[in-house]
Structure 1
Amino acid sequence: MKNFRYLAAALAAGLLTTQAQAQDIYKSGGGGAFAGLNYTFVNLDVGPGEADVATLSAKGGVMVTPFIGFEARAGFGVDDDRIGLADYSLDNFYGAYATFQMANESPLTPYAALGFTRVEVEADSVLGTFTEDESDISYGIGLNVDFASYVSGNLEYMRYYDDNDLTVDGLGLGVQFSF
């Protein structure tokens, strides 16, 4: 029984030391679970030209290690743009992504994202309303900046959708809360 107490004490000390070392290595990004909001300036490259629209989105996810996370996002359009006689908008989108972070001791954490997004783009003209509702592989890069413990901002570029007739790119600004 005495050996068990020594073994338990050694195991507890080892776990505390490992946790302290992990916290020293990984200062940026806060806790494991997170939620946030993003405002994204979106460029729709459609057949007749380009439209600059905007979206508001929410995200939530979890960091499974200091380097790898998973998140889901959903958003809707808040601004549209006219090309010729049609008003274009990104009506809504949602997706799931894996994130790969370069955890470090600074308040700046670069990351890359890879996943799938479903977009619904709408064109409204005198001839009627036309929508394209499609999914595609998405990818991007970004930078999280710690403002305070468990609160960070982010700047990111994402390619949400790309095919022959439509490309959806976004430059987003956001805030994220870690738990």
Structure 2
Amino acid sequence: MNRLTLAILAALGSVSSYALEKPYVGIDYQQATFDASQGGSAKPTMVRLRGGTEINPYFGLEAHLGFGVGDDSITSSGVTYNAKVNSYYALYLRPQLSLGEHASVYALLGGVYIDRTFASSNPALFPTIDEFMHNTSYGAGVDVNVYKGIRLNADFVSYTKQIDAVSVGIRIPLN
């Protein structure tokens, strides 16, 4: 783990910082698009847990932890592969713009570590590819306030050149 990752985790975990900031947690359902390098795409599903804090009305920090809950098949060069995102974690800077008390739009910019699997239907000729990779990740979304700080959200995140996801979920304030 690099120093930036440790610094962001320390900031998110600091009890004293919660007194001045607005911490929150969330859970989201994600539909990913997993593009194969030879063409075609699969649509595995994931669940994402989020934790973050709004440092001020224009800036926040957010951490994601995701797990694959469904896989999908893809045919590439005559071979069928079962594609799945096993898990991932990501840390983001979150610039945001409030649209009054009712909504906000935000961007995500950070890094992701992702574990994915490509299992072929013919493992004797085409072995399973299990990769753990890291990449710069970015995205954008919207939060809509529905009741006393509880927000519904939708976003798009590009995790790698081959994996993007659209998410919908809920965000709950911790104070």
Normalised by the length of structure 2, the TM-score is: 0.79
Q: 1:90 aligns with which of 85, 89, 107?
A: 85
Q: C-alpha displacement at 1:129, in angstroms?
A: 2.5
Q: How big is each residue's C-alpha offset from its partner over 1:148-174, in whole Å with a ceiling of 9 and x where there is no partner?
A: 012101000110112xxxx11010001
Give 1:100-179 correspondences, 5 Å limit.
100-125=95-120, 126-127=122-123, 128-162=127-161, 167-179=162-174
- Could you tell me which residue of structure 2 aligns to residue 76 of structure 1? 67
Q: How big is each residue's C-alpha offset from its partner over 1:20-71, in whole Å with a ceiling of 9 and x where there is no partner?
A: xxxxxxxxxxx70000001111000112321111100101011111110001
Give 1:49-68 correspondences, 5 Å limit.
49-68=40-59
Secondary structure at the aligned position of 1:47 is classed as coil
Instruction: Give the letter for the 1:129 counterpart.
Output: T
Q: C-alpha displacement at 1:106, in angstroms?
A: 4.1
Instruction: Give the letter for the 2:134 counterpart.
Output: S
Give 1:18-37 correspondences, 5 Å limit.
32-37=22-27
d(CA) in 1 for partners of 2:117 and 2:134? 15
Structure exhibiting the larger radius of gyration computed from Cα positions: 1
d(CA) in 1 for partners of 2:48 and 2:157? 13
Gaps of 5+ in 2: 1-20
Point out the structure with the larger helix share.
1
Secondary structure at the aligned position of 1:60 is classed as strand
Number of corresponding residues: 145
Q: C-alpha displacement at 1:120, in angstroms?
A: 1.2
d(CA) in 1 for partners of 2:64 and 2:44? 18
Q: 1:40 aligns with which of 20, 23, 30?
A: 30
Q: How big is each residue's C-alpha offset from its partner over 1:101-125, in whole Å with a ceiling of 9 and x where there is no partner?
A: 1023141211111000111110112
After alignment, is 49-58 or 127-136 more displaced?
127-136
Identity level (%): 26
Instruction: Give the letter for the 1:43 counterpart.
Output: T
d(CA) in 1 for partners of 2:99 and 2:168? 21
d(CA) in 1 for partners of 2:153 and 2:99? 16
Instruction: Give the letter for the 1:158 counterpart.
Output: V
Aligned 8 A contact 2:99 2:105 in 1:
no
Q: How big is each residue's C-alpha offset from its partner over 1:1-33, in whole Å with a ceiling of 9 and x where there is no partner?
A: xxxxxxxxxxxxxxxxxxxxxxxxxxxxxx700
Normalised by the length of structure 1, the TM-score is: 0.77
- Runs (4+) of structure 1 moved beyond 2 Å? none
